[in-house]
Amino acid sequence: MPSRLQAELGQTRPFASPEHEAVLSIARTAAVLEHSVAEALKPYGITPTQYNVLRILRGAGKEGLCRNAVRDRLVARVPDATRLLDRLAQSGLVARDRDTPDRRFVTTRITRAGLALLARLDEPMARLHARQLGHLGAGRLGTLIDLLAEVREGAPPVK
């Protein structure tokens, strides 16, 4: 009998190993969750990665962060953090300033417009996450969080 993932993907052959199936299941689940987040953010004109940046900068407070600090805190790696921050600056959601004598060091801060957008998104995103995972209940969510942390700890480091 095919597994749930095999049926979902329309795969007739068995997976090469349980590890292979688990990796694909994690990837498929992430894609499904990411798609619903992207759809929820679309009316607001931002992507999930831009939303992630805005939340990072809101958490950084008035001090802001340099490009590399933002890049290193992102949930998903991006090839060009500078371009990502430039797009957010062009849309008025972040501001980039050279605060030091070293002209290469640019601090990025969230603007009032960025804070206002996040304030409008806080409740809809909380409801979305509850719809996505709330059916698992607190105990199973805790187990899932712990298991995923163990997977990340055992994975090769991201460079």
Helix, strand or coil for residue 15? coil
Place 157 in a pLDDT band, splitting at 50, 70 and 90: confident
The whole-number pLDDT of residue 159 equals: 66
At 75-128, the pLDDT tens digits run 998 989 999 999 999 999 999 988 666 666 789 999 999 999 999 999 999 999
Q: Is 41 exposed, middle or buried (0-12, 13-18, 19+ CB in 10 A)?
A: buried
120 vs 117: CA distance, rounded Å: 5
Span 64-71, mean pLDDT? 94
DSSP state of 157: P
| pTM greater than 0.95 | no
**CATH no. for 45-154:** 1.10.10.10
The whole-number pLDDT of residue 98 equals: 80
Pair 89, 64: CB distance under 8 Å: no
Sheet holding 65-66, edge to edge: 65-66, 107-110, 94-97
The whole-number pLDDT of residue 102 equals: 67
At 40-52, the pLDDT tens digits run 999 999 999 999 9
